[in-house]
């Protein structure tokens, strides 16, 4: 099976550049078209948070109408910019979100690889958290399927990535989460977003995949900084291929072509 992960749309955000504004919704259109034309096509798409930049229902509706043009199922989960209530209101009819409870977390059981969607949203904060209630829920779900190969999705990386700015907004109790996950050998990976950079790390006796944004990037800033500026590197989709023969394989699929290291048709952000 083939899974596509897209993340961090920030619909509703307009980024100013030296030649004019860029609407991130237009960048998402390019990514969705890229997904539609992939060969082979994904069996499903995971949308791992920060769909809207401001949590506005209008922006969620724009995103959903665009995502609905894809010919394969997709599953959403919240990031730190998202509203659980508005996500539940708009996407509830699709049948996979929980009907009640505080957190938007759930499992997808109908594929060869079991998927667990873990809610790391800490309301009003940019960092994430997996409280004891969510840890218990995850441990219970993993205990119920010890023989099922499993991939976990969450928005916030639960480990430092040597990116000081982004590390300051990671999932803060990753040590507790690591203890739970490391006790379950069927977890083949944990996939996140949030940093707008690609990173891969050994963590909790498995592999941590951090996927770049589907609309814009931040630079590779491995030194402390109070803030960092957007970069218009190619938008990105992470693909996970699963089979019994190979196990889990990951690839990055970049959106568009960018000759000579330049973004085709997209200007560089203005310097502050």
Mean pLDDT on 51-63: 97
pTM of the full predicted structure?
A: 0.93
Average pLDDT, the chain: 93
What is d(CA 162, CA 159) in angstroms, rounded to the nearest whole number? 9
Contact between residue 121 and residue 83 where contact means Cβ atoms under 8 Å apart: no
Q: Is the pLDDT of residue 110 over 60?
A: yes
Q: In sequence order, which residues have a C-beta less than 8 Å from that of residue 82 and are 6 or more positions away?
A: 49, 50, 51, 52, 55, 121
The residue assigned the tokens 């977390």 is 105
Question: Can you read off the two tokens belonging to residue 85?
Answer: 């209530």
The residue assigned the tokens 């109408």 is 65
Mean pLDDT on 209-229: 92
pLDDT tens readout for residues 21-41: 889 999 999 999 999 999 999
Mapping DSSP to helix (H, G, I), strand (E, B) and coil, where does residue 135 land?
Answer: helix
Burial of 245 (0-12, 13-18, 19+ CB in 10 A): exposed
pLDDT tens readout for residues 231-272: 878 899 999 999 999 999 999 999 987 655 454 444 444 443
Termini Cα distance of the chain: 45
pLDDT grade for 230, boundaries at 50, 70 and 90:
confident
């Amino acid at each position: 099976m083939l899974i596509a992960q897209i993340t961090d749309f920030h619909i509703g955000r307009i980024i100013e550049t030296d030649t004019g504004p860029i609407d991130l919704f237009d960048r998402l259109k390019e990514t969705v078209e890229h997904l539609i034309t992939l060969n082979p096509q994904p069996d499903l798409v995971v949308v791992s948070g920060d769909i809207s930049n401001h949590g506005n229902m209008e922006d969620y509706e724009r995103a959903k109408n665009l995502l609905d043009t894809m010919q394969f199922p997709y599953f959403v989960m919240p990031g730190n910019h998202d509203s659980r209530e508005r996500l539940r209101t708009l996407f509830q009819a699709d049948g996979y979100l929980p009907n009640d409870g505080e957190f938007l977390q759930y499992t997808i059981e109908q594929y060869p690889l079991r998927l667990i969607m873990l809610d790391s949203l800490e309301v009003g904060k940019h960092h994430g958290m997996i409280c004891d209630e969510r840890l218990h829920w995850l441990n219970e779900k993993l205990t119920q399927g010890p023989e099922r190969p499993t991939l976990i999705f969450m928005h916030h990386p639960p480990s430092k990535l040597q990116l000081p700015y982004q590390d300051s907004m990671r999932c803060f109790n990753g040590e507790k989460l690591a203890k739970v996950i490391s006790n379950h050998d069927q977890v083949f990976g944990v996939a996140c977003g949030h940093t707008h950079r690609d990173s891969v790390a050994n963590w909790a006796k498995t592999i941590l995949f951090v996927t770049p944004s589907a609309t814009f990037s931040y630079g590779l800033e491995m030194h402390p900084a109070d803030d960092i500026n957007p970069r218009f590197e190619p938008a990105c989709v992470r693909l996970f291929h699963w089979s019994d023969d190979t196990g889990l394989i990951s690839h990055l699929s970049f959106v568009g072509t960018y000759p000579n290291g330049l973004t085709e048709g997209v200007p560089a952000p203005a310097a502050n």
